[in-house]
Amino acid sequence: MKKITGFVIADILKNKIILIYTLVLAVFAWSVFSLEDNTAKGVLSLLNVILLTVPLVSIIFSNIYMYNSSEFIELLVSQPIQRKTIWLSLFTGLVVSMNLAFIIGVGIPVFIFVPDMTGLFIVITGMLITTIFISIAMLCSILSRDKARGIGIAIMTWLFLTLIYDGLVLFMMFQFSDYPIEKPMVIVTALNPIDLARIMVLLQVDVTALMGYTGAIFKHIFGTSFGLIISFGLMMLWIIIPFLISWKKFRNKDL
Amino acid sequence: MIELIHIKKNFGKTEVLKDISIQLAAGQCIGLIGPNACGKTTMIKSILSMVIPTSGEILFNGKNIIGDVAYKNHIGYMPQIGRYPENMSISQVINMIKNIRKYNGQIDDELWYAFGLDGVSDKKMRTLSGGTTQKVSATLAFLFNPDILILDEPTAGLDPLAAEVLRDKIIKERKKGKLILITSHLLNELDELLSHVIFMQEGEIVLYKTIGDLYTETGEVKISKAIGNLLKSTLK
């Protein structure tokens, strides 16, 4: 398992896209903190950039990487190696290298400019988001043999979770604004990993006071340590469940 | 050594393998022949658990292969179309497989030199011609001195010289008492190699005989003609 993971990591790190991704993240993070005097504002701008780009790059890169590895996978399956080892190694390799890019790009400037809990939260949620979208990408890649279709599914998933989902939530809010919908709203929001990550960081920055009654409810539920554990638990489920489904499918896949 | 018991495989609605039961023993050199799409490659891939049968069992030395991978240490497999990571060089691929298989015995690199791969070992896999890729596949199959060799269309795409090299190597390994399973459409090539013949048609094994029996039954001395004869008589 270690050897194959090593091969995967070495292979990904040789890829120039990962290098560019790291550089772009670094440029964003350094410029955001250099331009803003107020670190809280800097954190919010950075958060928006991260929550848009990190999922997109993670899901597309991992998805294409999985399709390009089909020969590698086929070769390994004909050798005395457990399919479980192959699948886990690919996942670990992607997780390690994508998170490494994120830590170098975003982690270093964040720890320099915001060396407190907020900074730690940005990095941790960013890493969780990266891992979640790798897990989803692996699932998308095994749902279809056709590369174009697989990448299409991945893009649609990203689009749904970043844009469409929030649109639907807003629509629902306006439709049911006469009813006490704050609590159902919390549940609906918690089901989307990107919204969950946003709330986790926002609560640390303490701008929830500006968000009115809903903000207060969010603070009340997610601000406690219990709420925090639930949020982390939900993020972990977003990693584990897609991975387990993809692994189940891979175990019975004909190559 | 290998036993298939009531193996069935469906791809969607098409039945590719229809209830195949067969025993393969050490020392045999078996030619697996049959028309296109008769299930030869699927059968081979299910032995390697690259394809998971819909039902039935495959035993390796009496042990079910489901959930086991150690048995693949005894198998050298040469695929019909070798697919390798494109941006790795030939030597990187070979070294990676050496690295992954924890093999302590003598490495058999005879084919590596016989095919002249040492001269092109830095070339990337994506730049190789079909024939050179086949040479890499063949080298990998024989590299770890396996007890069983499974060769899917070994000479397709090879030039006559390389095909001759591979043929000699197969004969040499056969003398060591290994189990060799070859699929091929070029029946003339197989004449001196084989001890047994399996003929498959539409996912079923039509015939599994020793070469001697085949010749005496048909009165021919060439596999191609003997099979042709037999098919004609069964059709009548």
pLDDT 10s digits, B194-214 = 899 999 888 899 889 898 888
> Alpha-carbon distance A44 to A137, whole Å?
27
A7 vs B50, B86, B96: nearest CB: B96
Give me the DSSP letters along A123-146: HHHHHHHHHHHHHHHHHHHHH-S-
Provide the pLDDT for residue B234. 67
> Alpha-carbon distance A36 to A109, whole Å?
13
User: Percentage of chain A with pLDDT > 70?
Assistant: 96
Provide the pLDDT for residue B101. 85
User: Percentage of chain B with pLDDT > 70?
Assistant: 99
Question: A76 — contact with chain B (CB < 8 Å)?
Answer: yes
Q: Is A207 exposed, middle or buried (CB count within 10 Å of its CB: 0-12, 13-18, 19+)?
A: middle
Closest residue in A to B47 (Cα–Cα):
A78
| Complete domains list, chain B, with CATH | 2-235 (3.40.50.300)
Between chains, do B50 and A69 touch, taking CB under 8 Å as contact?
no
Chain Cα centroid distance, residue B123 = 26
CA distance B56 to chain A (A): 15
Q: Write down the pTM of the prediction.
A: 0.90
A75 vs B11, B69, B84: nearest CB: B84
Tokens representing residue A164 in the block: 């469409």
Answer yes or no: is pLDDT of B236 > 60: no
**Which chain B residues are Cβ-neighbours of A10 within 8 angstroms?**
none
Question: A80 — contact with chain B (CB < 8 Å)?
Answer: yes
**Which chain B residues are Cβ-neighbours of A73 within 8 angstroms?**
none
Between chains, do B83 and A70 touch, taking CB under 8 Å as contact?
yes
Between chains, do B83 and A78 touch, taking CB under 8 Å as contact?
no
> Alpha-carbon distance A200 to A234, whole Å?
12
B100 vs A3, A74, A254: nearest CB: A3
Question: A79 — contact with chain B (CB < 8 Å)?
Answer: yes
Between chains, do A71 and B83 touch, taking CB under 8 Å as contact?
yes
Q: Mind listing the pLDDT tens digit for each residue in A50-103? A: 999 999 999 999 999 999 999 889 989 999 999 999 999 999 999 999 999 999
Under a CB-based contact definition with an 8 Å cutoff, are residues A8 and A94 in contact? Answer: yes
Provide the pLDDT for residue A209. 61
What phi and psi, each to the nearest 5 degrees, are found at residue B58?
A: -120, 125
Best residue in A79, A248, A255 for a mutation probing chain B (most B CBs within 10 Å)? A79
Under a CB-based contact definition with an 8 Å cutoff, are residues B24 and B61 in contact? Answer: no
Question: A70 — contact with chain B (CB < 8 Å)?
Answer: yes
**Which chain A residues are Cβ-neighbours of B96 within 8 angstroms?**
7
CA distance A248 to chain B (A): 13
Sheet containing B179-183, strands listed edge to edge, beginning at the edge strand earlier in sequence: B75-78, B148-152, B179-183, B29-33, B196-201, B204-210
Best residue in A78, A84, A253 for a mutation probing chain B (most B CBs within 10 Å)? A78
**Which chain A residues are Cβ-neighbours of B69 within 8 angstroms?**
80-82
Chain Cα centroid distance, residue A7 = 24
Tokens representing residue B197 in the block: 């013949």
A80 vs B69, B83, B86: nearest CB: B69
User: By 3-state DSSP, what share of chain A in percent is helix, strand and coil, each rounded to 5?
Assistant: 85, 0, 15
Question: Which whole number is the average pLDDT over B123-128?
Answer: 92
Between chains, do A78 and B48 touch, taking CB under 8 Å as contact?
yes
Tell me the Cα Rg of chain A: 19
Provide the pLDDT for residue A192. 92
CA distance A240 to chain B (A): 22
Between chains, do A254 and B69 touch, taking CB under 8 Å as contact?
no
B204: which strand partners? B201
Between chains, do A71 and B51 touch, taking CB under 8 Å as contact?
no
Question: Which whole number is the average pLDDT over B57-67?
Answer: 89
Question: A69 — contact with chain B (CB < 8 Å)?
Answer: yes
Between chains, do A82 and B52 touch, taking CB under 8 Å as contact?
no
> Alpha-carbon distance B15 to B204, whole Å?
10
Confidence of residue A212 (pLDDT cuts 50, 70, 90): low
Higher per-residue pLDDT: B38 or A136: A136
ipTM: 0.86
A77 vs B50, B93, B99: nearest CB: B50
* Residues recorded for chain B: 236
Between chains, do A75 and B85 touch, taking CB under 8 Å as contact?
yes
Under a CB-based contact definition with an 8 Å cutoff, are residues A246 and A150 in contact? Answer: no
CA distance B72 to chain A (A): 5
Q: Which of B79, B56, B30, B77 is nearest to B200 (CA)?
A: B30
CA distance B48 to chain A (A): 6
Confidence of residue A211 (pLDDT cuts 50, 70, 90): low
